């Protein structure tokens, strides 16, 4: 039972009380609470987390893929404190703040060409929700309206967030099947992967194969498709599914050819994770709508942005009575504290030459993955910049997976924890996504802990 007895105002709860409250009061995301074991982090510094007892753990997954420059970075800390001395929040409905405006300017300058307008919200799911609604409304009121364009084309195993709109275009059955009666219909194609390929499809012709599937759907149904939504280059929550090289560029060409909008969900892969500021830049792609969140504030505060082209922006302009307004908003959209953290995060990219320093780290990770790939229970290793997924299998020849219930990926992470490394798996896929400022020796520790963990978990 939860200890709810009154305590003196100056008395802090004990570790035991905190753990009991965490088990019985806090409802954790994606967690079976009957099995939950409290793991409480009290503070952090750089790439290291510290629990209530002062034990240290390297943050191997960037606190769910959002920390960029490490915890307690002095530049970001100072920016938030300075903003607090001005104002913590003003609404974006009918007013603005200089910090938020300056962030919009910076994002437009950095983003792929043509994305000249920024709509702020507060999470990755809301950034996607905004893009979906913008795409729908665009076709209803653009210069040459096409009201039949009401559907979306998405990919199997996609993850775009947990609001009903983002779940509708998502495709992870384990997460989404329960809510199917609440969702709208989506056209869906297989994930463009290079592992567990269909018969007669090889890694060499996989890109052509998957683009042909897209081309067939667009050829026959483009008149009713508002947009294609994709996680550029890699579907992260799906198990780090790496797309064939050239797929994103080909997708952009097909959507342009058939006058269908392209929504790029870079919530996970944006903000430098791939080695470029935005994953779309790896294949020189300019989407119609670009969704950002997670690392946009360096992992400090909730903030998200949906960037749109001028073509989309123009379709929403008109008189008040025309009702062409985008009737959508979030209380904390464009919050000045979040915007201050985001501006400071972008400053640190420049000051510390973060992207220029990544190739050595990417190469070091690649070296470890090449060795790990030889393990008899490793079916596939997938890397994109400082993002990596290692898929464990019962049989690497047949690609037979371990049963989900055996939690092999979690066993690897449990072992890593004993080595002072915090990781979180995706089923049988062990995920590594450290902060971009990770030192080589810290990266070594993470990789060695994973290597040991795979040995332990597959015995």
Q: Return all residues near 26 (Cβ < 8 A) that are at least 6 apart.
A: none
So what's the pLDDT on residue 430? 98
Compute the average pLDDT of residues 170-199: 93
Query: Do the beta carbons of residue 206 and residue 197 sit within 8 Å?
Result: yes
Strand pairing report for 304-309 and 378-384: unpaired
In this predicted model, what pLDDT tens digit does every residue of 373-406 receive, in sequence order?
999 999 999 999 999 999 999 999 999 999 999 9
So what's the pLDDT on residue 4? 58
- Reported as type and span, the H/E element at residue 345 is helix 336-351
Q: Is pLDDT of 10 > 70?
A: no
| Averaged pLDDT score across all residues of the chain | 96
d(CA 19, CA 120): 36
d(CA 294, CA 79): 18
Q: Where are the alpha helices (DSSP H) in 25-146?
A: 62-65, 74-84, 98-110, 124-141
Cβ count near 395 (within 10 Å) = 12
Compute the average pLDDT of residues 251-267: 98
d(CA 120, CA 125): 12
Q: Return all residues near 390 (Cβ < 8 A) that are at least 6 apart.
A: 369, 372, 378, 380, 381, 382, 429, 430, 432, 450, 454
Compute the average pLDDT of residues 323-337: 96
So what's the pLDDT on residue 422? 98
So what's the pLDDT on residue 2? 55
Domain ranges of the chain: 39-68+355-457, 77-351
Which pTM was predicted? 0.96
Q: Is 109 exposed, middle or buried (0-12, 13-18, 19+ CB in 10 A)?
A: exposed
d(CA 184, CA 133): 13
Tell me which long-range contacts 26-32 makes (C-beta under 8 A, separation of at least 24): 30/175
So what's the pLDDT on residue 83? 98
Model confidence at 155, pLDDT cuts 50, 70, 90, reads very high
So what's the pLDDT on residue 6? 57
Query: Do the beta carbons of residue 151 and residue 158 sit within 8 Å?
Result: no
Residue positions in the annotated binding site for pyridoxal 5'-phosphate? 124-125, 265, 330-331
Q: Is pLDDT of 174 > 90?
A: no
How far are the Cα atoms of 57, 374, 394, 408 from residue 455, in angstroms, in the given order?
A: 21, 12, 13, 11
Q: Is pLDDT of 9 > 80?
A: no
CATH number of 39-68+355-457: 3.90.1150.10
Residue positions in the annotated binding site for substrate? 159, 294, 329, 424
d(CA 328, CA 174): 30
Strand pairing report for 400-401 and 387-395: antiparallel
So what's the pLDDT on residue 8? 59
Q: Which tokens hold the place of 227?
A: 């947009």
Query: Do the beta carbons of residue 219 and residue 255 sit within 8 Å?
Result: no
So what's the pLDDT on residue 11? 79
Please tell us whether the domain made up of 77-351 is placed in CATH 3.40.640.10.
yes
Q: Is pLDDT of 5 > 80?
A: no
Cα within 13 Å of Cα(175), Cβ side? 24
Q: Is pLDDT of 173 > 80?
A: yes
Model confidence at 423, pLDDT cuts 50, 70, 90, reads very high
Q: Is pLDDT of 3 > 90?
A: no
- Does residue 54 come out as left (phi exceeding 0), alpha (psi in the -120 to 50 range) or beta? left
d(CA 42, CA 380): 36
In this predicted model, what pLDDT tens digit does every residue of 93-146 receive, in sequence order?
999 999 999 999 999 999 999 999 999 999 999 999 999 999 999 999 999 999
d(CA 265, CA 256): 18
Express as a percent the part of the chain with pLDDT over 90. Answer: 96
Q: Which of 393, 394, 390, 456 is nearest to 423 (CA)?
A: 390
Angle subtended at Cα 336 by Cα 335 and Cα 342, rounded to the nearest 5 degrees = 95
């Amino acid at each position: 039972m939860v200890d709810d007895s009154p305590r003196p105002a100056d008395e802090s709860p004990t570790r035991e009380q905190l753990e009991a409250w965490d088990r019985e009061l806090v409802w954790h995301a994606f967690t079976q609470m009957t099995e939950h074991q409290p793991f409480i982090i009290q503070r952090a510094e750089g790439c290291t987390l510290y629990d209530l007892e002062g034990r240290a753990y390297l943050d191997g997954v960037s606190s769910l893929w959002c920390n960029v420059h490490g915890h307690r970075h002095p530049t970001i800390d100072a920016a938030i404190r300075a903003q607090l001395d001005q104002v913590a929040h003003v609404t974006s409905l009918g007013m603005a703040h200089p910090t938020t405006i300056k962030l919009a300017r910076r994002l437009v300058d950095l983003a792929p060409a043509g994305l000249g307008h920024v709509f702020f919200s507060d999470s990755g799911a809301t950034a996607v929700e905004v893009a979906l609604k913008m795409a729908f409304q665009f076709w209803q009121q653009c210069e040459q309206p096409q009201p039949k364009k009401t559907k979306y084309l998405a990919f199997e195993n996609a993850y775009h967030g947990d609001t009903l709109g983002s779940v509708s275009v998502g495709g992870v059955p384990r997460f989404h099947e329960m809510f199917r009666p609440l969702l709208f219909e989506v056209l869906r194609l297989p994930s463009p992967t290079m592992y567990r390929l269909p018969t007669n499809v090889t890694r060499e012709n996989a890109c052509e194969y998957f683009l042909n599937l897209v081309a067939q759907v667009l050829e026959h149904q483009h008149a009713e498709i508002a947009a294609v939504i994709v996680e550029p280059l890699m579907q992260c929550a799906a198990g780090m599914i790496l797309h064939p090289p050239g797929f994103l560029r080909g997708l952009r060409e097909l959507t342009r050819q058939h006058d269908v909008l392209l929504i790029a969900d870079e919530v996970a892969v944006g903000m430098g994770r791939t080695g470029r500021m935005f994953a779309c830049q790896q294949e020189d792609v300019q989407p119609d709508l670009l969704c950002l969140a997670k690392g946009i504030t360096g992992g400090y505060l909730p903030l998200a942005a949906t960037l749109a082209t001028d073509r989309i922006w123009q379709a929403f302009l008109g008189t008040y009575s025309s009702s062409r307004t985008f009737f959508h908003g979030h209380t904390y959209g464009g919050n000045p504290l979040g915007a201050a953290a985001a501006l400071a995060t972008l400053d640190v990219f420049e000051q510390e030459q973060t992207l220029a320093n990544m190739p050595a780290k990417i190469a070091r990770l690649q070296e470890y993955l090449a060795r790990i790939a030889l393990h008899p229970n490793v079916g596939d290793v997938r890397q994109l910049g400082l993002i990596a997924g290692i898929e464990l299998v019962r049989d690497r020849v047949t690609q037979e997976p371990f049963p989900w219930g055996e939690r092999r990926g979690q066993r690897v992470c449990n072992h890593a924890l004993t080595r002072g490394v915090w990781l979180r798996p995706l089923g049988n896929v062990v995920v590594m996504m450290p902060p971009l400022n990770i030192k080589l020796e810290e990266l070594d520790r993470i990789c060695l802990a994973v290597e040991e963990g795979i040995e332990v978990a597959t015995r």
